[in-house]
Amino acid sequence: MATKSAPINMRVEPSVRNIIDAAANLMKVDRTVFIQQAALSEAYEVIANQRDFMLDEAAFNAFEQALEVETKADQGMVDLLNRKSPWE
């Protein structure tokens, strides 16, 4: 079963379109394919930057140590969570 494509419409200045067209021609693809590839590549990078990160060994060890530090109870937060809700 073929998946239908979904339209994405946008308006750009003619100068922007001309630059996109020039780059698409250099890549030997049409404007739509070029824009799709560029947008998808950027989207993957944005998503990866939000969830993946790399650390060298020293930074990783410091990160692990920070995770292992015993947490202290915040008495104000404990009181808040034990308080009866106004709607109860």
CA–CA dist 83, 88 (Å, integer): 10
Range of the domain at 66: 14-70
Domain presence at residue 57: yes
pTM to 2 decimals? 0.56
pLDDT one-digit tens code per residue, 61-81:
999 999 999 888 899 999 999
Q: In which residue ranges of the chain is pLDDT below 70?
A: 1-2
Residue 86 lies in a domain: no
Give the separation between CA 36 and CA 44, rounded to whole angstroms: 12
In a domain, 33, yes or no: yes
- Please say whether the beta carbons of 24 and 30 come within 8 A: yes
Contact present, 43 and 35 (Cβ < 8 Å): no
Domain membership of residue 30 (yes or no) is: yes
| Residue 64 resides in a domain | yes
Quote the number of domains for the chain. 1
Contacts of 33 (CB under 8 A, 6+ apart): 24
